[in-house]
Amino acid sequence: MRCQSNEELEALVEEAKQLTKHGKVADYIPALALADEDKLSVALYYPDGRCYSAGDTSENFTLQSISKVLTLALALMDRGEEYVFDHVGQEPTGDPFNSIAKLETNKPSKPLNPMINAGALAITHMIQGDSVSDRLERLLLFIRKLSGNDSLTYNAKIAQSEYETGHLNRSLCYFMKQHGVIEEEVEDLMDLYTKQCAIEMNCLDLARVGCVLAMDGADPVSGEQIIPLDIARICKTFMVTCGMYNASGEFAIKVGIPAKSGVAGGVMGSLPKKCGIAICGPSLDDKGNSIAGVRLLEMMSKKYSLSMF
């Protein structure tokens, strides 16, 4: 499928783009530091198949934290709501996404929610399969189905880069292993997690994934229920309460669309019953969200009255 270019959208992108120079690309993962920080693109995917875009939407980027929503959906399908939330909490937190302090102060030790790194690692731990490669394959199949892109895979170079430098995530893993939150070998989990974060797609693919969540889990083309309704709702709820790192509250107020961002500059939005949205803009603000992407969503929300509140 091809998206129609849209003039109005192009104008908004041009305006929002001016912000890119006030942010900077993620540099804590060496391979991400190479991204072009001036870029900004957006795609909207509607359940009737219409699709609009602006900017260069053909370029791939890695999902990074956006993948946390998708592994959550799969883990909920694999394990059920009760099991998942016995091990990972449902509450937003005022702490940074990579913080370890709450794991220590909360008794029993339990990550506060699936969107912070500790919780996401615990969720990835729940993906079923006989081996890391088996579990990765299941996750890839699931995401290919959601995106309609049968050939997508992960970027091995970026996965490797994150694997080598991810000491903070290892620290979280070992802390959770000590407390029985995770049981497998930490290096196995790190292997799976870094590959998951490095899954690549373009804006069109991602907007389609957002659309499936928006439509309560149903494929917009075939109507197939890829994700059960309850689970799709859970995903959107976490996107509102903690999808945009430590700016989730502000984003909910200014934009009002369930959304999840990643440090490669991607943002996936899911407007309930309406459409999926995807943005890629690698220049990040100090909270780790695409600086121009957030502004673009704010402008779109105001102009088209998209807030769900």
Q: Footprint of a second copy on this chain (CB under 8 A)?
A: 85, 89-95, 99-102, 104-105, 112-113, 167-168, 170-175, 177-178, 186, 233-234, 236-238, 240-242, 246-250, 252-253, 256, 258, 272, 307-309
d(CA 67, CA 162): 15
131 is catalytic: no
d(CA 216, CA 273): 7
Q: How far is the CB of 184 from a second copy (least distance, A)?
A: 12
DSSP letter string, 154-219: B-HHHHHHHHHH-HHHHHHHHHHHHTTS--S-HHHHHHHHHHHHTBEE-HHHHHHHHHHHHTTTB-
Q: How far is the CB of 13 from a second copy (least distance, A)?
A: 24
Q: Can you say which residues are annotated as belonging to the binding site for substrate?
A: 65, 117, 162, 169, 193, 245, 263
- Which amino acid appears at position 275 of this protein? C
Nearer to a second copy, 160 or 171 (CB): 171
65 is catalytic: yes
193 is catalytic: yes
CA-to-CA dists, residue 268 to 85, 142, 147, 253, 271, angstroms: 23, 17, 12, 17, 10
Nearer to a second copy, 71 or 248 (CB): 248
Q: How far is the CB of 303 from a second copy (least distance, A)?
A: 14
Q: How far is the CB of 19 from a second copy (least distance, A)?
A: 19
154 is catalytic: no
**Which residue in 41, 53, 65, 147 is the catalytic one?**
65
d(CA 87, CA 109): 9
In degrees and rounded to multiples of 5, residue 225 shows phi and psi of -80, 90
245 is catalytic: yes
**Which residue in 39, 68, 102, 195 is the catalytic one?**
68
Closest alpha carbon to 237 in 67, 72, 42: 72
- Supply the residues annotated as catalytic: 65, 68, 193, 245, 263
